[in-house]
A and B are shown apart, each in its own frame.
Chain A
């Protein structure tokens, strides 16, 4: 019905096809199609199928990506067309304290969050791996922070870590005294990291769970027969068996950690905590590039730094993987 008409549209609009002649729509399910028809169908409709996806990805991902790189060499502003300024933006970055603060914080984020997200979810996966009664409930419960929006998670922890919030109330009740989680520059950053880890635990736990299911049980049995304890078995059997998954988790989490925005934005505020000392690179992009006077060119230069570091992180992780192989 509608399908035949749709299939013949691209030919009619002049899409590449072997021949424009012999175009005649007829119900395809009543008779075997002619060879010529099949061939045309095979050439035109694939592009029709892929067109919506290609258009969206092209216009809203790849074009802005290229645009970002080009803009980074201009002094374009939000409402003013820019002109080519060469490497001026990048030279300015070198002397911009805020940029170095952002780079420091985003890098610290990777250094703290990635090891935590490689190890803790693996331990959690081992804890929920055995089929003991009620384990499905625990698995689901541990996954809940993944489902919640980062805004919800951020605001929950803003209240938890508030000076008068639950954590401080408990600390005070046990006589430890209050801690200014959200007022000290460094405590703020580390609190945000903890929140990132808290939200990511369940996600990577599920990834590890799938990997653990593929560890041959014979290996564990053999190690047990040889007299290896649980810790030894973890280090000599489990870790090597899930190593490729660990690399995957490291790659995924390091790229995500370097691009951190929401947690810090919500917990430290739009300006990035005391004197902006908690600003991350993506926060800096958002702050510099938006608004009526937003410096699109300069923000794009920061974005280019983000691209480069992201690619470098991935290559680094993959390379570490290959080195361990030898």
Chain B
């Protein structure tokens, strides 16, 4: 260990010498030591990147391509034809004729939007209480959320369902929404965000006579907008993508969300690949657009969620 430390200090000047190079603003591909990356390594990296790209994105594109192929085009050809010879939106019309796909999309949107609001409000309020307010029982309340986060949701679905039925909320969108509408993980994420704020500002506001709601809304909340955005995005994605719980709580095809509707479509028309493909594209496109627009929050959320989880 000591030798590596010494070696490290010996090679310190390296980054320093590379500093003027970056100042010239010439675009150079360098490795983490500031040295130029050899061309063969760069080429190898791009080859590997493209191979992985094909593996990760290819299936989506294949699905898209299948959904655009008309009834007279052979989708089973070997070797496969990757581009539809005569692209058509016909399959999308057929999905809408087969299942009320737009109603399902609307149901999903309702649940997802409500989930965003409830999680942002509920988690921000509770997180603030856990982080900032001094009161008896704060540790107990924190423990409640930690325990709730550790409960494997897949294990309690049956009891959740009976609870929901006792409340008369099974087979409703409200029933789909409620169990996750203030998630313990989000509460703890918000708590951490509030804990990281300097306390002095709020103390000053307190001395100036701001009450707790004013401090919360005017000082603390604006300072944690980033985390709030992460909570919002993951709440939306979680609700839009959820499968097991809506599958259990919804039985009436009129009330299906998009994922349950897709499962139904697949179960009933499994042999109509074009139809199922069009359905999946409808379900995934909104999220891909959302992701493309708000990437950095998605990535940030992974980091924060993982540190917590």
Contact = CB atoms under 8 A, between A and B. Distances in A.
Interface residues of A, number: 110
B266 A266 contact: yes
B106 interface: no
A138 B291 CA distance: 14
A286 B299 contact: no
A321 to B, nearest CB: 15
Contact of B266 (A147, A158, A203): A158
A252 B309 contact: yes
B204 interface: no
B56 A201 contact: yes
Interface string B268-290: 00000100110110011001101
Interface string A191-232: 000000010011100110010000011111111111000000
A41 B210 CA distance: 11
B56 A142 contact: yes
Given A148-B284, A157-B59, A266 B240 contact: no
Interface stretch (B84-92, B93-101, B157-165, B223-231): B157-165
A170 B76 CA distance: 11
B126 A50 contact: yes
Interface stretch (A61-69, A95-103, A109-117): A61-69
B273 A162 contact: yes
Contacts of B118: 52
A217 B287 contact: no
B263 A151 contact: yes
Contacts of A32: 208-209
A185 interface: no
A316 interface: no
Contacts of B80: 166, 169-170, 173
B303 A206 contact: yes
A130 B37 contact: yes
A207 B306 contact: yes
B145 A210 contact: no
Interface of A: 3-4, 6-7, 28-29, 31-33, 41-43, 45-47, 49-50, 52-54, 56-65, 67-68, 71, 78, 124, 127-130, 132-133, 135, 138-145, 147-152, 155-160, 162, 164, 166, 168-170, 172-173, 198, 201-203, 206-207, 210, 216-226, 248, 252, 255, 259, 261-262, 266, 270, 282, 285-286, 289-290, 294, 296, 299-300, 303-304, 306-307, 310
